Every structure is written in structure tokens, then in C-alpha cells.
A = this chain, B = another copy of it.
Amino acid sequence: MITKRMEDYLRVIYEILHYNGSVRIKDIASKLNVKPSSVVEMLEKLNDLGLIIYKKREFIKLTKKGEEIAKGLKIKNEFIVRFLKLLGVSHKTAIEDAHKMEHILSKETLDRIKDFILYVETCPKPIPEWLKNFRFFCKYKKRLRCKECY
């Protein structure tokens, strides 16, 4: 069974790998705010589960399976961030909340989130009128007349 925390580690390993070319234990530790010894412990588990290849004092690699999971999380995460930002959530908070949401949302909810993004982004206008009005509403708690529904 892959736990939420294992997912966190996989995502972080994936990110560092793609940013740096290689992963060091202390980097994982600092990204996740844990001590290196905790990282080593988790690396052993992930290795035993066939999600990474970890041998003492050697470079860490993701296996096919591990990489797939990490990539899936990253994609999920990006959708959630985009969604929250459409909703008017700030960049910083969107990222924070997305990291928590990516572990727990059902496929169904995630599909609706994707649909929502696509719906907004396929609008002929750069930002749909209703979304502009919603943003205004968030800021001033006042509804603008909207052509469509009045």
C-alpha cells in the first residue's frame, strides 16, 4: 500500500530529479521538512516497494512505476492549482492546498475540475464574462448585472 507520505516523497524526488539532474538525501529532507535519517528510512521502504532504486551512497533513481506515480501526482497537482487560481485563490495558497488535495480527491471530482478548467479555457473570450463577474463579486461582495441572466 502506497501511503500519502510515500506519494509526497515520490513527487519531491521526481521534482528534484528534473530540476537538478540528481537527488541528494538532504535536498529531499529540506523540501519535506524532515531530517535526513527519516528520508533514508523512507527510501528503504520505497525501494522495497519497487518505486525507486536506492542503494547506500549511490544515486537514487525512480523506477518506471515510481515515475508514473510521481508524474500522475504532478499532473493532478497542476490541474488543482489551475483550478484554484481560476477560483481566485492566490498562487501561494493554491500550491499549498493543491499539495494536500492531490492525495485525497476522487477521480470523479478531479474529472469535474478538469472539465471546469477546459470549459473556462475554451471560451471564445480570454476570460468568460461570468468569471470576470465572479472575480468582482469575490472582491467587492457585489453582483454585477450580467447580460446573460438578467
Contact = CB atoms under 8 A, between A and B. Distances in A.
A134 B129 CA distance: 14
A55 to B, nearest CB: 35
Nearest to A145: B124
Interface string A124-140: 11001110011001100
Interface residues of A, number: 39
A16 B31 CA distance: 41
A122 interface: yes
A108 interface: yes
B89 A108 contact: yes
Nearest to A146: B148
A115 B88 contact: yes
